């Protein structure tokens, strides 16, 4: 039952990420927006990450039948997703890899020292959480400055993704709990929230009046 649920959630994550990536690349081709180009890379990366994990479960379920997913496959999928989160965070107002405040830099780096002695998968999850959390905070601050309603959806999406990554890491502490499945559902909800502002970009080429030629 757990294998089936994980297969379904990873497949849904793959399809949602792929759909948003396609919309983003169409928007980029029609507007030339560098932000949409970065977002297309981000969502395609996240989609591929979900696909790698889903394919690993499928191979395990129908071919290998060892009873558990190879850890390196999950780590690879999460690493690819982390690349996507990097592009999402930097597409939504993060201007530098670390904030200017020394205090926030120390808080951001601290989790890396905590997980440096454990599996590399935890490091990827920590990096993802840091990027997404800072992205959510800066997007919220941007909303208070500019009152852009689209920023609310972006901040919510980044927050959901950050919470999903945190719960995904925490599920290793309590492996028999439902935290992993909850984290997957929250991450998918975050992707859908990010899809709302992306879906508003033009999906057809902008035509100019011939009188301006």
- The sign of the torsion formed by the CA atoms of 133, 135, 136, 140 equals positive
SS3 content of the chain, % helix, strand, coil (to 5): 80, 0, 20
- Say how far apart CA 206 and CA 58 lie, in whole Å: 43
Q: What is the pLDDT of residues 155-188, one digit of tens each?
A: 898 899 999 888 887 776 676 678 888 888 999 9
**How many C-beta atoms surround the C-beta of residue 73 within 10 A?**
16
Q: What is the pLDDT of residues 145-156, one digit of tens each?
A: 877 777 888 889
- Kindly report the pTM of this predicted structure: 0.77
**How many C-beta atoms surround the C-beta of residue 96 within 10 A?**
8
Cα-to-chain-centroid distance, residue 38? 13
* Average confidence score pLDDT of the chain: 76
Position 201 scores a pLDDT of: 65
Q: What is the pLDDT of residues 97-128, one digit of tens each?
A: 344 444 444 444 444 444 444 467 777 888 88
Three-state secondary structure call for residue 175: coil
Overall average pLDDT of the 14-36 stretch: 88
- Contacts with 34 (C-beta within 8 Å, 6 or more apart), sequence order: none
Whether residue 87 is predicted with pLDDT greater than 50 in this model: the reply is: yes
Position 119 scores a pLDDT of: 66
H-type alpha helices, 32-63: 34-59
Six token digits for residue 28: 């980029």
Whether residue 52 is predicted with pLDDT greater than 90 in this model: the reply is: yes
């Amino acid at each position: 039952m757990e294998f089936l649920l994980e297969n379904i959630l990873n497949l849904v994550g793959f399809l949602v990420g792929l759909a948003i990536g396609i919309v983003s690349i169409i928007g980029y081709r029609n507007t030339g927006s560098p932000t949409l180009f970065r977002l297309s890379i981000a969502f395609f990366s996240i989609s591929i990450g979900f696909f790698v994990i889903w394919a690993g479960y499928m191979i395990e379920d129908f071919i290998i039948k060892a009873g558990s997913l190879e850890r390196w496959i999950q780590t690879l999928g999460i690493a690819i997703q982390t690349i996507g989160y990097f592009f999402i965070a930097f597409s939504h107002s993060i201007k530098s890899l670390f904030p200017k405040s020394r205090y926030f830099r120390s808080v951001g780096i601290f989790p890396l020292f905590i997980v440096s002695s454990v599996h590399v998968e935890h490091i990827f999850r920590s990096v993802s959480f840091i990027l997404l959390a800072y992205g959510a905070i800066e997007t919220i601050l941007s909303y208070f400055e500019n009152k852009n309603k689209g920023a609310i959806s972006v901040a919510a999406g980044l927050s959901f993704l950050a919470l999903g990554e945190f719960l995904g890491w925490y599920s290793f502490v309590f492996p028999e709990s439902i935290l992993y499945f909850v984290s997957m559902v929250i991450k998918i909800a975050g992707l859908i929230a990010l899809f709302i502002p992306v879906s508003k970009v033009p999906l057809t080429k902008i035509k100019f009046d011939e009188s301006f030629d």
